[in-house]
Structure 1
Amino acid sequence: MLRKIFAHNAFFCVLVGVVGLASSCKKSDSNGKGTRAELTKDSIYLYAQQTYFWNAGMPSYSSFNPRKYSSNEAVLNAIKALPSTGGKDKYSFIDDGTVATELGGVGGDYGFSVNYDGSNLLRVKYVYSASPAAAVGLKRGYQVTKVNGKTTIRSSQSDIDNLNNGIFGDNPSISLTVVKPDGSSEDVTIQRKTYNINPILSSKTFNVGAKKVGYVAFNTFTTNAVALLDPLFNQFATDGISELIVDLRYNGGGSVATAEALTNLIAPSAENGKVMYTTYWTKTMRDGAATILQNQKFYAEGNDKVVRLYSYYDYSYKPTIDAGNQEVFAKRGTLNGLIRVYFLVLGGTASASELLINNLKPVMDVKLIGKQTYGKPVGFFSLRIDKNDLYIPQFETKNQVDEGGYFNGLAVNKNIADDLTKDFGDPSEKLLAEALNYSATGNFTSYLKDNSLSSTTGSSRQSIDNANEKLDHEFKGMVETRKLKLNN
């Protein structure tokens, strides 16, 4: 059995790029001839033709003609727009390797993000503890009034563009004017640096009557997160918690293996040995017909302990335990006997976060608080093409009772908007307060809806949500990082 991290830089290997692509193209109408750029466009289409989740009914290479498109992104956008997808593909993208690096727990940006709150004020929504933003004292809830000298008031698309270029662009530094909760204003300059991502933004244990309720704000499923989650859950066990609140409001997903580990930290030991979820790969992959995967090569230690050259084609993609594509519960840690788990979610809660929730729904009492989730029941591994990684959905997951397909997101039990004015773990923050109230009373609060208009600017809630969507640069993905088995 191999340890398979499909993000390319996790292998101690060299994946075959253009050279391998040329050999795969010889079987197509392209005859393996063309410029480097043309062969890359060919490869994007040919990999989709054999591994894409919606590859049934895709046109032939000659009918599609990937070389007619102006860029690699244009080729991918045309694939996403094919009738075979049913308009469902909002997930595929081409990356320069950044995703693989961040999946491993290393950031290279400023380490913070922002959203407009219900009053149409731009606020910091989270800060990673070891990031450059944390080093200058930036905190969740701070109002941002200027970015690189320009106001954050939204009057046109150019205002959103300034925020995207300043906060999420590739500039080496950014200057902000922020207003703190005490009303004082401060100018700060943040330098972009490499830092270690700690996805646990906050954790604590609350006393709710005679009960103890654990809380953790978990922001991304990095591959290094399990080593941080294990001691936290041991502490929860020591504290004697009987209910747990998992704050996934900004968590767009990440490693499948980490989602599996967190599932086993939460799930009751009575489920040990029972099916957790099943992975259903694209039919061409299940049938062993995705021969193009022979070009994605890596060195690894096989079942006989000998290191040799393999390819992604050497794995079995059948939906069985023997193939490694049906996971079973295996209790992790000492926390057991949770009677309920609450998930705090928003529209950006996606993929591996939704996998975690869907895994637990059949086996314990699960409550969702916030807004309907993103809707990404499909996942992928990276395909190395020349100097980039192609991410296209190649599998879907279904839980113990065969539930999946939540392309429109997971519905919440209590609908309420994000409260950016309060820090993570503040019991007066709206989403957390709802969970604590339910724990105490067995009911959610009676008020049903948020204000439809901002009290300060008159902007509609929909207008604010649309602006936040344009500022949402969180990775949304479920990246295959588990152990699969070789065909022989």
Structure 2
Amino acid sequence: MGRTSFTIGLVAALSACGGGGSSSPGPIGGGGTPTPTPTTSACSLANRQQFVRNVLNEWYLFPDELDTSVNPASFSDVQSYIDALVAPARASSKDRFFTFITSIAEENAFFESGSSAGFGIRLGYDTSANRVFVIEAFEGAPGLPAGFDRGVELLSVGTSAATLQTISSLMASGGPQAVINALGPSTVGLTRVFSIRETNGTTRQVSVTKAEFELDPVSNRYGAKVINDGGKLVGYLNLRTFISTADPDLRAAFNSFRTQGVTEVIVDFRYNGGGLVSTAELMGDLLGAANVGQVFSFTTLRASKASENETDLFGAQPEAIAATKIAFIGRGGTASASELVTNAFIPYLNNNMALVGANTFGKPVGQFGFDLTACDDRLRAVTFKTENANRQGEYFTGLASVVPNTCRANDDISVQLGDPAEASIAVALDFLAGRSCTPIAGTTGVQGAQAVAPARILLQPDSPTPAQREVPGLF
């Protein structure tokens, strides 16, 4: 069970992004061809539940918070049984739906190539006005060439021009889930008609058909660039998700930073829900040339599995830079692997690093995958916690309380990601330049809600696909 198989991706329920809760991951989606669970005796509900119980009894990180008294016969599906087993850990905020059952085929397709099916857009909604916006669009997917890009507003949606329903009426009648239902499942070939308002104010109608596409983890439009800030060169990197195809993009980005002499960096994790630990380790190496041989992170399992514990050291990479100052941009959808990378640099950068934007989700634990291959079942069970070199890792309430500096900033969707004029990037540049900022609520000594308007939440289904878990808001 090598490190490359670890995944600490965000369970991207609404609660992960500041909204309501969810307990059923669900097998909806494209991005691979999942095998329907066979109806043989080997894949009976009782056998699948027993598989889950056996794994959790042996591997679950919090064995004392596992309710093995629950009767499996009281549950009609595997996920609800899992939820009951881990309910005590959930009540103490240690497992907020991080343990779940998913499809082996779907998850492999996403982690290996970023494969998914949909429009290829990330959506968010404003809690105050019940409006839905595109906050990111992915290259190679059908949405972007149809005119969907950051800042575009969805006004109505339907299966045809004659069945359009306004977003406002959907939100009023059923909240975000009504909009999600209207968008339809992640099925290749499914078409929806939209009325949209572009960033210049133009309103038009457009039809878009869902297709399978491979998500580029570092956008070729704005994912990696060097910003000239008053004569000082600052590296900017926006990583969408930690999947294996990110590795060459990360190496290319940091090689560019290195050849241009960049030592101060903005790392934009604002929508990054996590992913593979192996990619997080590589990113740490690429930022930490000055820390080679020192501790990047500790991975610790339950006492009975202590033989599986690991200490990961910063490794030498030819493309690496010795970052002297880093501004990490994060928000409520920032979780897991992105939090791991941020936390790892606290012992080394101290006051030369900051969290910019808003508080993060708070997920210092990760999962192993356990496969019941014949049933296309993969149990993602919380099995380990991660800590930095100072053994800090209890940030279940988010990173704002542990990062040395925090700077509150809006997520300005009227400006493209990577633009130094965008609100969070502008504040990040201020921090790197030594200018003052307003701390994020949740920071030690900072009181009050400190609303960051507009209060935009990533739109997330009750039953996210594997891709939606790692890329919250993806449709």
Q: Which residues in structure 2 correspond to 1:114-263 (within 5 Å)?
A: 114-117=123-126, 120=129, 121-148=131-158, 149-153=164-168, 155-167=171-183, 169-171=185-187, 172-201=190-219, 202=222, 203-263=224-284
In 2 relative to 1, CA 466–334 (structure 1 residues): closer, same or farther, beyond 3 Å? closer
Identity of aligned residues (%): 27
Instruction: Say which SS state the counterpart of residue 108 (structure 1) adopts.
Output: strand
* Match of residue 352 from structure 1: 337
Distance in 1, matches of 2:90 and 2:168, equals 41
In 2 relative to 1, CA 135–335 (structure 1 residues): closer, same or farther, beyond 3 Å? same
Distance in 1, matches of 2:380 and 2:460, equals 21
Instruction: Say which SS state the counterpart of residue 253 (structure 1) adopts.
Output: coil
Q: CA deviation at 1:445?
A: 6.5
Q: CA deviation at 1:99?
A: 2.9
In 2 relative to 1, CA 82–140 (structure 1 residues): closer, same or farther, beyond 3 Å? same
In 2 relative to 1, CA 53–217 (structure 1 residues): closer, same or farther, beyond 3 Å? same
Distance in 2, matches of 1:52 and 1:66, equals 18
Instruction: Say which SS state the counterpart of residue 363 (structure 2) adopts.
Output: coil
Q: What is the letter of the counterpart of residue 218 of structure 2?
A: I
Residue-by-residue CA offset, 1:76-134 (whole Å, 9 max, x unaligned): 11012136863421112221233332122222222111112487332111111111212
TM-score w.r.t. structure 2 length? 0.78
Distance in 1, matches of 2:128 and 2:66, equals 46
Distance in 2, matches of 1:34 and 1:228, equals 42
Gap runs ≥5 in structure 2: 8-36, 159-163, 442-447
- Once structures 1 and 2 are overlaid, which stretch shifts more, 464-473 or 136-145? 464-473
Q: CA deviation at 1:45?
A: 1.7
Q: CA deviation at 1:452?
A: 5.2
* Match of residue 58 from structure 2: 50
**Selected match of 1:66 from 61, 72, 77:** 72
**Selected match of 1:275 from 269, 292, 295:** 295
Instruction: Say which SS state the counterpart of residue 230 (structure 1) adopts.
Output: helix
Gap runs ≥5 in structure 1: 8-16, 23-32, 287-315, 320-324, 455-460, 478-488
Q: What is the letter of the counterpart of residue 137 of structure 1?
A: G
Cα contact 2:264–2:323 (8 A) shared by 1: yes
Q: CA deviation at 1:283?
A: 2.5
Q: Which residues in structure 2 correspond to 1:430-441 (within 5 Å)?
A: 430-441=423-434
Q: What is the letter of the counterpart of residue 138 of structure 2?
A: Y
Residue-by-residue CA offset, 1:377-423 (whole Å, 9 max, x unaligned): 11112212322211120001111111102111100601233222211
Distance in 1, matches of 2:4 and 2:380, equals 16
Residue-by-residue CA offset, 1:230-257 (whole Å, 9 max, x unaligned): 1111111222223110111000000100
Distance in 2, matches of 1:168 and 1:333, equals 45
**Selected match of 1:339 from 305, 324, 349:** 324
Cα contact 1:244–1:338 (8 A) shared by 2: yes
Larger radius of gyration: 1
Q: Which residues in structure 2 correspond to 1:19-58 (within 5 Å)?
A: 36-56=44-64, 58=66
Instruction: Say which SS state the counterpart of residue 362 (structure 1) adopts.
Output: helix
Cα contact 1:94–1:388 (8 A) shared by 2: yes
Distance in 1, matches of 2:90 and 2:355, equals 32
Distance in 2, matches of 1:339 and 1:360, equals 11
In 2 relative to 1, CA 441–152 (structure 1 residues): closer, same or farther, beyond 3 Å? same
In 2 relative to 1, CA 213–94 (structure 1 residues): closer, same or farther, beyond 3 Å? same
Distance in 1, matches of 2:379 and 2:315, equals 32
* Match of residue 32 from structure 2: none
In 2 relative to 1, CA 4–442 (structure 1 residues): closer, same or farther, beyond 3 Å? closer
Distance in 2, matches of 1:389 and 1:139, equals 34
Q: Which residues in structure 2 correspond to 1:94-133 (within 5 Å)?
A: 94-97=101-104, 98-104=106-112, 105-117=114-126, 120=129, 121-133=131-143
Cα contact 1:417–1:450 (8 A) shared by 2: no
* Match of residue 95 from structure 2: 89
Q: How many residues align?
A: 410
Q: CA RMSD in A?
A: 3.1
In 2 relative to 1, CA 426–34 (structure 1 residues): closer, same or farther, beyond 3 Å? closer
**Selected match of 2:393 from 396, 400, 404:** 404
Q: What is the letter of the counterpart of residue 366 of structure 2?
A: G
In 2 relative to 1, CA 3–219 (structure 1 residues): closer, same or farther, beyond 3 Å? closer
Distance in 2, matches of 1:421 and 1:405, equals 35
**Is residue 2:445 matched to residue 1:424?**
no
**Selected match of 1:265 from 257, 271, 286:** 286
In 2 relative to 1, CA 259–377 (structure 1 residues): closer, same or farther, beyond 3 Å? same
Cα contact 1:18–1:40 (8 A) shared by 2: no
In 2 relative to 1, CA 167–432 (structure 1 residues): closer, same or farther, beyond 3 Å? farther
In 2 relative to 1, CA 453–112 (structure 1 residues): closer, same or farther, beyond 3 Å? closer
Distance in 1, matches of 2:394 and 2:417, equals 31
Residue-by-residue CA offset, 1:158-179 (whole Å, 9 max, x unaligned): 2422321234633522222221
Cα contact 1:124–1:141 (8 A) shared by 2: yes
TM-score w.r.t. structure 1 length? 0.76
Distance in 2, matches of 1:191 and 1:128, equals 15
**Selected match of 2:357 from 370, 391, 414:** 370
Cα contact 1:278–1:327 (8 A) shared by 2: yes
- Once structures 1 and 2 are overlaid, which stretch shifts more, 225-234 or 358-367? 358-367
**Is residue 2:372 matched to residue 1:387?**
no
